[in-house]
Chain A
């Protein structure tokens, strides 16, 4: 938790977001009704053809009357709630994740960008994440991540996601991390390194790109997994949309005063052991310099994973690369810069993992967002992780940060502990 984020929530309250959101929720409601109607139609089919195979024939008119009656009743009757089959309880799954670290940097003010990075010499509470999730009803699933810092609380994510829409569609609404690239919409708990990738901090802010809004995902009918996601989220917050409205309180007047994110992802299972995932992402929205000026980010991501499916030691090797280019219109000029990272992570024995990451960014002499970040910056990090069980981990990470505008590199060593209690859901690939 940091001051940026508190700023952000204040700006949210100031923006006339409720109007905009209301219209989205109406649209979502209509879509869900359509989904419910499809589900209802499926149920009707099952009912109209009983197993004993001697049904009295229904005329089309009778069938229609029954369907109309069922549709009317379905509005009045409570839907059957799915229950958690293993525990026999309808409680949401609740888990609490603690991330703490002891850190030592060669400079007392290291240039770490992440809101949950260990930033000072000595002990750091990175975060205490309270995760709760459950089915809402047969049509919606709800997830929330409430993150506690030493001095505050933030709603990292809180969203509902549809379960039963037709045509491969899925709608998400609420506050969520946008589907940009690979690492942006993951939590520190599933990262392979202790700190945030520089690209995310430079382009989006300390908490990665997130906001209140709505997202539509479409699972294309291609024979390999390809999903396209489009979201509209508010473009405010130093923590989360610094390339766009950031900390300014420019009002939302038109539909294009929000941030649009478009992502396409394809996954190719090369064989049982090798996986390849490719993605492209683009974002576009208004920036804080006013006068209709816009910012955009375009990026590509690559993930290659080798995991011999039958290996008892569960060994694996994964390469992940993301690179993005950002363009900003400012009064009288436009700025273009780049950032990216690549990491290689290997699980080399039961309970043991090691990884290497290199971050890179360019810098601009007259960038109003990062006035000191005037040139190239490269950062290398190596980590070694021990997992006593899959509910805890101990991670040692060493890094060398090489900002071209400083005469000395910044070296750092961090020892981080993570523990997870409770029932935490599965992670995405």
Chain B
């Protein structure tokens, strides 16, 4: 009798250990997961390690993420040290040779995009800066297009049986995103220069600003990652008044009190943008990007 129970337990353990049938894709950010799902289509299961409301600078390295990484065939990371506070240890503990740095199963999205704000000199007195450049490119559909194309190539290598599907999907996604980027850039260019100015909370919207031809007059944080003090607030209120900017923008995972106060003092509007695609709720990357542009356009006074 005892032996039979052991057999059942053994078989159950084997079932769990069986490799999954579909490719397993893991992305650190929901925006990257949304892109990966569109390129992979039905051939892969795609999971995002973080939710859209989580700040990727400060996520907890929860051990359940090790299980996802252990099963993954492809890991898509943002890179530029955005995930440095929690991801590297998890990848090591995942004991998965397929997704270690330098393998075909490790895709660093930052190697595929044009980087902005690459500092000439790095010193932590400047705050929380990223030595390789500003890591917040997941906002920009032009970067999204390049990442989609790279995902197509990676998936074709990992799963040659469906290579044609991946490459077709990637080309379609990239074309759609580039068209969206061009169309929105044209629409924003028609706005008067005066109303294309904005103040941001953290210096994380540079790619969005670059895409839509906007002008960032300053940041609420005195230096990246350093919360504002009264002197800094006085300075940015002064900046808002002299430039005539009427919009303060921040992501949902930053504190809002100071931004609200600045907006109130300068009769400006505060726009809180979603920090990532609502991938778990089925949102596609291009809907996310289009949504960002729509909200910004409305907030800048466009019709």
Chain A residues packing against B (C-beta within 8 Å): 35, 38-39, 42, 46, 49-51, 53, 80-88, 135, 138, 141, 161-165, 167-170, 219, 221-225, 227, 265, 267-269, 272, 275, 277, 305, 307, 309-310, 312-314, 350-351, 389-391, 421, 425-429
Task: Pick from B89, B98, B104, B130: contact of A428, CB below 8 A.
Answer: B89
Q: How far is the CA of A305 from the CA of B63 in the complex (A)?
A: 13
Check A219/B124 contact, CB under 8 A, given A46-B104, A312-B254, A426-B88: no
A427 near B89: Cβ-Cβ < 8 Å: yes
With A53-B160, A141-B92, A219-B66 known, 4 other A-B pairs at CB within 8 A are: A53-B163, A267-B64, A309-B51, A309-B53
Between A and B, 24 residue pairs with Cβ closer than 8 Å are: A46-B158, A51-B160, A53-B163, A85-B79, A85-B110, A86-B110, A164-B95, A169-B95, A219-B70, A222-B16, A223-B67, A272-B51, A277-B63, A309-B51, A309-B54, A310-B252, A314-B55, A350-B255, A389-B127, A390-B85, A426-B86, A426-B88, A426-B89, A426-B90
Residue contact B54 to A49, C-beta cutoff 8 Å:
no
Chain A residues, CB < 8 A from B84: 86, 426
Within 8 A of A (CB), among B226-284: 226-227, 252-256
B61: CB under 8 A from chain A?
yes
Q: Is the CB–CB distance between A135 and B17 below 8 Å?
A: no
Residues of chain B lying within 8 A (CB to CB) of residue A168: 70, 95
The 6 closest A-B pairs by CB, nearest first: A82-B102, A310-B53, A164-B97, A221-B16, A267-B63, A82-B101
Shortest Cβ distance from A32 into chain B, in angstroms? 11
Instruction: Using A85-B79, A221-B16 as known contacts, say yes or no to A163 and B160 having CB atoms under 8 A apart.
Output: no
Q: Which of B17, B98, B255 contacts A42 (CB 8 A)?
A: B98
Given that A46-B158, A86-B79, A219-B70 are contacting pairs, would A51 and B62 also be in contact in the complex, using a CB cutoff of 8 Å?
no
Q: In the complex, which residue of chain A has the Cβ closest to the Cβ of B254?
A: A312
Assess whether B156 is interfacial by the CB under 8 Å rule: yes
Provide the bound-state CA to CA distance between A391 and B127, in Å: 10
Task: Identify which of A51, A82, A168, A427 gathers the most chain B CB atoms within 10 Å of its CB.
Answer: A51
Least CB separation from A141: chain B residue? B92
Are A426 and B62 within 8 A (Cβ)?
no
Q: Please name all residues of chain A whose beta carbon is closer than 8 Å to the beta carbon of B302 when the two chains form the complex.
A: none
Minimum CB distance partner of A392 in chain B: B124
Contact between chains at B256 and A312 (CB < 8 Å): yes
Q: Which B residues are CB-close (under 8 A) to A390? A: 85, 128, 225
CA distance A268 to B110 in the complex (A): 32
Contact of B132 among A83, A87, A162, A307 (CB under 8 A): A87
Give chain B residues whose Cβ lies under 8 Å from the Cβ of A39: 97
B residues within 8 A CB of A38? 97
Q: Are B53 and A51 in contact (CB under 8 A)?
A: no
B102's nearest neighbour on chain A, judged by CB, is: A82
Q: Are the CB atoms of B64 and A170 closer together than 8 Å?
A: no
**Contact yes or no, B102 A429, CB < 8 A:** no
- Asked whether, in the complex, the Cβ of A426 is within 8 Å of the Cβ of B87, the reply is yes
Residues in A neighbouring B102, C-beta threshold 8 A: 80-83, 138
A residues less than 8 Å from B93 (CB atoms): 170, 219
Q: How far is the CB of A428 from chain B (nearest CB, A)?
A: 6
How far, in Å, is A81 (CB) from chain B's closest CB? 7
Fill in one digit per residue for B102-137: 1 if any A CB lies within 8 Å of its CB, else 0: 111000101100000000000010011011100000
> B13 near A: Cβ within 8 Å?
yes
- Chain A residues within an 8 Å CB radius of B90: 426
**Residue of A whose beta carbon sits closest to that of B124:** A391
Smallest CB gap from A350: residue in B: B227
C-alpha gap A35/B227 in the complex (Å) = 47
Task: Give the CA-CA distance A389 to B57 in the complex, in Å.
Answer: 13
Cα separation A277 to B60 with both chains bound (whole Å): 14
Q: Which residues from A are CB-within-8-Å of B225? A: 389-390
